Amino acid sequence: MDYIKIKEKLIGPAVSIATPMKDNFEIDLEGLEHNVNYLISNGFVNNKGVIMAVAAAGEAPSLTLEERKTAMKTVAETAKGKVPLVTSAQDPSLENVIKLAKYAEELGYDAVQISPPFYFPVNSEVVYQFFENISKKTDIGIMVYNTPWVNRGYNIDLRLMERLVKIENIVSFKWRNDNEITYLEAIEKFSLKISFLDNTLSPVPAYILGARMYLAIPANFAPKYSLHIHELLVNKRYEEATKELFKLHIPYYEWISEVEKEGILGEGTIIKAPMRMVGLPSGPARPPYNFTLNDKQRRRLYDILIRAGLNLIE
């Protein structure tokens, strides 16, 4: 596999897509196919965006391995090489991680998103050996996902990153860090070697330093908006990009923060609610995270989407 080409392909807003469900909580495969085609028809194509399938936003932690594989296959067969694809291979079991990575490779995915081992404590040597082991047993791009919120506060540091970027099939970092200096220094130092996916509230500093992607959850229901922000960023129109972020991206994340404090947990409800409002297949979130928004929460979201200029059906 040509890992240099994969790094070059990973550019643009990266949308971690929802996994639509039927009312009985089975995966709505037709709905998933529809949503992938919706993204492609609205500009998520090669060199202009990345689709991330069956990750946390796609409720992967609530799905069985077989369900994850079924959804991965549906996305790959629908996309047909029109857009770069990344999927989650995260799992507490190293063997399951490798199995998911190999299956993604069979389906034609460009990369798999993998965080450091979770549940048990880790250190840098454990993390390095983990990724080295995966790289030796797979032939697919690896997107390293720094996840201190599930790793007991552990953050990848610059010394470890220096070692990881030398592993041939590590092509990307999905990146935020509890240490702001490390966050910025890593992008500045390694952006010529690795395609960074910024995972913060504002991608502007990351793009200034060389990042090529940003996490665009609103692209699930406003793809052209997210593509426009990326276009402004790559053209160094940072002030305009910042203003655009405040039209939908930041208000939406502010709403998420509010409803989380009010007891709405998981990512299913917070992503599927706006998708329903614009008329996209979504369905319920998978239990135990099948929360229902109350009228006030729904109204606040509705107002945010209306102010952003979206056409709503409900």
Q: Beta strand 195-198 with 213-215: parallel, antiparallel or unpaired?
A: parallel
- Cis peptide, bond prior to residue 61, ω within 30 of zero: no
Main-chain dihedrals φ then ψ at residue 16, nearest 5 degrees: -85, 110
Predicted local confidence at residue 173, as pLDDT: 98
Domain ranges of the chain: 3-224
Neighbours of 263 (CB within 10 A): 9
Nearest to 108 by CA among 266, 1, 15: 1
Predicted local confidence at residue 231, as pLDDT: 98
What is the pLDDT tens value at each position of the chain, 314 positions in all? Answer: 899 999 999 999 999 999 999 999 999 999 999 999 999 999 999 999 999 999 999 999 999 999 999 999 999 999 999 999 999 999 999 999 999 999 999 999 999 999 999 989 999 999 999 999 999 999 999 999 999 999 999 999 999 999 999 999 999 999 999 999 999 999 999 999 999 999 999 999 999 999 999 999 999 999 999 999 999 999 999 999 999 999 999 999 999 999 999 999 999 999 999 999 999 999 999 999 999 999 999 999 999 999 999 999 96
**Distance (Å, rounded) from C-alpha 298 to C-alpha 277?**
10
Is the sign of the CA dihedral 41, 62, 288, 144 positive or negative? negative
Residue type, position 190, single letter: F
Predicted local confidence at residue 1, as pLDDT: 81
Any idea how long the chain is?
A: 314
Query: Would you please indicate which residues are annotated as catalytic (active-site) residues?
Result: 145, 174
**Distance (Å, rounded) from C-alpha 300 to C-alpha 183?**
32
Main-chain dihedrals φ then ψ at residue 113, nearest 5 degrees: -85, 125
DSSP code, position 84 = -
Nearest to 14 by CA among 69, 59, 51, 60: 51
**Distance (Å, rounded) from C-alpha 70 to C-alpha 38?**
20
The CATH number of domain 3-224, selected from 3.30.70.790, 3.10.20.580, 3.40.50.620, 3.20.20.70: 3.20.20.70
Nearest to 217 by CA among 204, 206, 232, 201: 201
For 70-98, give one letter per residue: b (16+ CB within 10 A) or e: ebbbbbbebbeebbbbbbbbbbeeeeebb
